[in-house]
A and B are shown apart, each in its own frame.
Chain A
Amino acid sequence: MMVIRRILLCAVLLLLAVVLEVTLLAPLPFPGATPPLVLVTVAALSFAFGPNTGAVCGFIGGLLLDTAPPAAGTLGITALLLTLVGYLLGRLGDPNDRPLFLSVGGTAAAGGLVVLGAAILGGLLGNPRIQWGDVPVMVITAALYAAFLAVLLIPLIQRLSRRLVPEAFAR
């Protein structure tokens, strides 16, 4: 029962994040990168439920982002990177007492590194689209937007998880 509620919560949040990222955030003319809403959602779920759920959420969220129209990149790259993000952030600090600055800082670093990692992987795999001159700006802005979204979303998703899946937090 607890597992089903956890899966439902993660699925709904990830779907919502993917749809909002491509229909609302990407069309807005943000300078540099598009705010990485899916990444921050994965990070928040990972902080709430640990590295195992985090890795699975990262994989699913990345796969959704790779297949959501109008995605045109190589399938699996975002899935791979967000799997690592979900796993590593879940292991960051003490799960029962993790200060907000640590989770926000971790998410921001992940936001920048994922952009850098995707560009390097794309370059190695022969993606002709990568504009190397724009990569530094993309990395920095992605980290900034990730930090901003993390401040809003991590406490929110933490509270939502505690209310909807209280068993996961019983010690």
Chain B
Amino acid sequence: MRDGRTNRIVLAILVLLSITLVIIDLRGSSSGPTAAIRSAGAAVLAPLERVSGAIFGPLLSLGDSLGSLGEKDQQIADLTAENARLRADLDLVANEKARVAELDSLLGLVGNNGYVTVPAQVIAVGPAQGFAWTVTIDAGTRDGVEPQMSVISGAGLVGRTISVTPTTATVLLIVDATSSVGARLAGTSQIGIVSGSGRQDALQMQLLDPLAVVDVGDIVVSFGSEADRPYAPGIPIGTVLEMRGTEGQLTRSALIQPYVDVSRLDIVGVVLRVDERAPREPLPMPTPTPTTDDSVLSPQTDDSVIPEESAAPDETAVP
């Protein structure tokens, strides 16, 4: 009898405490006591996540083969797991190669736009049932990362940092339902706002001009924020998949296919600043010919070094 009563008192206290936390957090999560609890929790967990991320990061390349664990039967799962264990060594090598290739393409993008970035690896992801598209990367204030900085990968815009600890940072991905990015269409320079849909394969773009002529396949790049925070200008976001609403309607929106596959993020770069002389021209079409203009930036091909080569003869003319 007595036991039961203590139990209920403990339960009541904890439930009240939780509800209090929810209410305080809803009133303002960026300041006040819940911010202190959050940073205390992050301070304890971030170092542990870094260690765990360093251990499991390489093994996560096996994720695809384990992905069907939930729907195939037990035997297949066991065999896959065993197979995965046996292949772990082999995959570690393949994984290293893939990471080198990712770093290369990241460098290609960075070199073209003059972004000063710090590379980082994704070490933790929010549980799917929270519906939040956020990840943790292993670079923090120690590496010069601050809140509200752009995060890019070799393919394009990934998101922005929202909170940092000394050794880690949390990134809000562009596909998250609360994310919105000022963007424009390369070529026509129509501007609009790209917001996340909460699904990994689609973004929505709200066009400011209801009469805008938009074609399927047009490239969307970031417009750039004041002082390049949170979004640096000219980062490729995706391509137009489909137009919604008829021309002349008050608001027109486009469905955007993002360049970055957020479910396969590994190495990303945090844009610390943009060099002042960075070219801000819009992107060309996705399949550039080697003879096009001097502002080529192609997120999907490896030809991005071509402008420098075509510029080389001019440099030799300089005494």
Contacts and interface: CB of A to CB of B under 8 A. Distances in A.
B18 A80 contact: yes
Interface string B56-87: 10001001101111110000000000000000
A77 B14 contact: no
A99 interface: no
Interface residue tally of chain B, by bracket?
35 or more
Contacts of A56: 10, 14
Contact of B48 (A15, A33, A66, A80): A15
B15 interface: yes
A72 B126 contact: yes
Contacts of B162: 72
B306 to A, nearest CB: 35
B89 to A, nearest CB: 19
A83 B126 contact: no
Contact of B172 (A72, A77, A138): A72
A141 interface: yes
Nearest to B20: A76
A66 B14 contact: no
A23 B14 contact: no
Interface stretch (A1-9, A57-65, A101-109, A155-163): A57-65
B127 A26 contact: yes
B71 A23 contact: no
Contacts of B14: 55-56, 58-59, 79, 83
B29 A145 contact: no
Nearest to A30: B70
Residue among B14, B19, B20, B165 with the highest chain A CB neighbour number at 10 A: B14
Contact of A75 (B34, B122, B125, B127): B34
A89 interface: no
A77 to B, nearest CB: 6
17 contacts: A23-B52, A26-B126, A28-B60, A29-B263, A55-B10, A63-B41, A68-B49, A71-B130, A76-B19, A76-B22, A79-B14, A87-B7, A118-B129, A129-B130, A138-B128, A138-B129, A145-B70
Interface of B: 3, 6-7, 10-11, 14-15, 17-22, 24-26, 29, 34, 37-38, 40-42, 44-46, 48-49, 52-53, 56, 60, 63-64, 66-71, 122-132, 134-136, 162-163, 165, 168, 170-172, 176-178, 198-199, 263
A83 to B, nearest CB: 5
Nearest to B45: A68
A131 interface: yes
A84 B172 CA distance: 30
